[in-house]
Amino acid sequence: MTAHHFVGEGDLSDRLQADSRDPLRLLAPVGAAVREAGLQVVADKAVPFTNGGATLVWVLAESHLVLHLWPELDRATLDLHVCDYRESNRDKARRLRNALDTLCFAPGSAAWRELAVGGDAGAGG
CA-to-CA distance for 25 and 6, rounded, in angstroms?
Answer: 23
CA-to-CA distance for 56 and 52, rounded, in angstroms?
Answer: 13
Q: If DSSP states are collapsed to H, E and C, what string results for 7-63?
A: EEEEEECHHHHHHCCCCHHHHHHHHHHHHHCCCCEEEEEEEECCCCCEEEEEEECCE
Structural domains in the chain plus CATH codes: 2-117 (3.60.90.10)
The reported pLDDT for the residue numbered 120 is: 52
Angle in degrees, 0-180, between the axes of helices 90-104 and 24-36, rounded to the nearest 10: 140
Asked if 78 and 65 touch (Cβ cutoff 8 Å), the reply is: yes
* Total Cβ atoms within 10 A of residue 50: 5
* 32 Cβ contact list (under 8 Å, min separation 6): none
- Per-residue confidence in pLDDT tens, the chain, 125 aa: 788 999 999 999 998 888 877 889 999 999 999 999 999 999 999 999 988 899 999 999 999 999 999 998 999 999 999 998 788 899 999 999 999 999 999 999 999 999 877 765 444 43
> pTM for the complete prediction?
0.89
The reported pLDDT for the residue numbered 123 is: 44
